[in-house]
Amino acid sequence: MTLFSRRDAQAVASILRDASIAEIRPRFRRLAAGDVRAKSGPLDLVTEADEAAERRITAALRAAFPGCVVVGEEAATADPSILAALADAELAFVVDPVDGTSNFAAGMPLFGCMAAAIWRGEVVAGIIHDPMGDDTAIAVRGEGAWTETPDGHHADLRVAAPVPLAEMAGAVSWRFLPEPLRQTVNRALPKVAASFQYRCAAHEYRLAAGGHCHFLFYGRLYPWDHAPGWLLHQEAGGYSARFDGTPYSPAITSGGLICAPDRASWQALHEALLAG
């Protein structure tokens, strides 16, 4: 039993929305050349919006939840050692201020603002705000997953019904897979009905949790990218496991992840995409 409640999750959702209104949306399609920088390479970007939103969200979370640990993507990029705090903290938050930064920088309205609450190493809440649609997907461990709007409209989330492998459509991110697994997965993709990638885990997880695609496949597992959406998918009735069949953990950043409607679907995807 944790002390993190549905009301707490909604408080985090408000923090993300406030940061989106103040720091993210005003910069959308208004970034100057110096407002966008590469981190590890040309496909890994950071903008002024990422950094300003993360500062605002971090300060607001610390004020709302005194004593909590906050691990933001940009802070962890600058100092990877802060990731270790997730294992020992009673209450920690991981934050991705602008998930889908490449889309944001390109002026594409497909990005999200995400946070997850982690209680003694376990993900207990996931929040994914859509700054452009101005609604938020929320999951609380044991209480389900739903979307809500500022005017109070709620809609429950539920994963898609299982279908045969040849009818499955899903998001596949193979960029960070090691060889020869990368080639194995790419050769196997015609076994499913369709595969795509939004360059935005926030919207991919929301799509799967809402039943609008059947599976998600990821090769790298930074907690700010996956902890919020993983719980959303889980609470929407889905099944997930790492490539080796072990459960997802925010403390593990490797080993890949497959999310599916149920265990049988996961097994079919695992055999089709990873067995070669």
Q: What is the pLDDT of residues 63-74, one digit of tens each?
A: 999 999 999 998
Q: What is the pLDDT of residues 113-172, one digit of tens each?
A: 999 999 999 999 999 999 999 999 999 999 999 999 999 899 999 999 999 999 999 999
Between CA 67 and CA 272 the distance in angstroms is 45
Q: Is the peptide bond before 180 cis (omega within 30 degrees of 0)?
A: yes
CB count in 10 Å sphere of residue 81: 7
Between CA 231 and CA 233 the distance in angstroms is 5
* 82 compared with 167, residue with greater pLDDT: 167
All structural domains of the chain: 6-156 (3.30.540.10), 165-274 (3.40.190.80)
**Which pLDDT band, with edges at 50, 70 and 90, does 276 fall under?**
low
> pLDDT at residue 44 above 90?
no
* Mean of per-residue pLDDT scores for the chain: 95
Q: What is the pLDDT of residues 90-109, one digit of tens each?
A: 999 999 999 999 999 999 99
Between CA 237 and CA 232 the distance in angstroms is 9
Residue 79 in contact with residue 61, Cβ under 8 Å? no
